[in-house]
Amino acid sequence: MKSLALSLVLVATAALGATPDAGDAGTLRPVLSCVLEDGSRAKLETSSHGLDGDSLFVQVGGKTERAFLDMPRTDFVGHIALAKCVGKTLIFALNYGPPYLKGGAIRQNPVTHADERIYFAEKALPRWLYSGRKEMLVIIPNEGDETDKKYLVYRYEAGKGQPDESTPTDQLPVALRDLIRIK
């Protein structure tokens, strides 16, 4: 009976287009689990919306939340375009409607072990990640002609957080040898 009730909730949720709460753990499907700096894990999970795609959730430190905390009132539903573990960082992107991709990168700072998150929304997927002691960078090629510059850089500075927008630039902000390529 409990299984039937849960199934009915899932069907009703999908039909209404609402995203289940993160507390509705029975509705979440695991996608990827990445080891963080201290050995704990960041897990990417989805909740299905049928043909419309999935909503993304992230579990860090035993707490499950919507993947995009930068826009908590927006229900992003789409198809996963990127889900990778790169340099002890979980990086993901959702294609929620042409031409934009909404994504994030989650890591623990190697010095402070504090959780750090970068959120982005662009027309191209990230190409490089920099994971330093004082900052994390996600670098996206400017394939959507957002500016006249070659790259869009999203930065998280330890203790300061993430600025509201990316920084356009023609030069990579760190040496190529220090960047991790996102394949």
Please state the domain extents for the chain. 28-181
Give the integer Cα–Cα distance in Å for 145 and 133: 31
Q: Cα separation of 94 and 138, whole Å?
A: 16
Q: Per-residue pLDDT for 25 more than 80? A: no
What percentage of the chain reaches a pLDDT higher than 90?
Answer: 74
Phi/psi-derived region of residue 88, left when phi > 0, alpha when psi is between -120 and 50, beta in every other case: left
Residue 12's pLDDT band, with cuts at 50, 70 and 90, is very low
Report residue 1's pLDDT band, with 50, 70 and 90 as the boundaries. very low
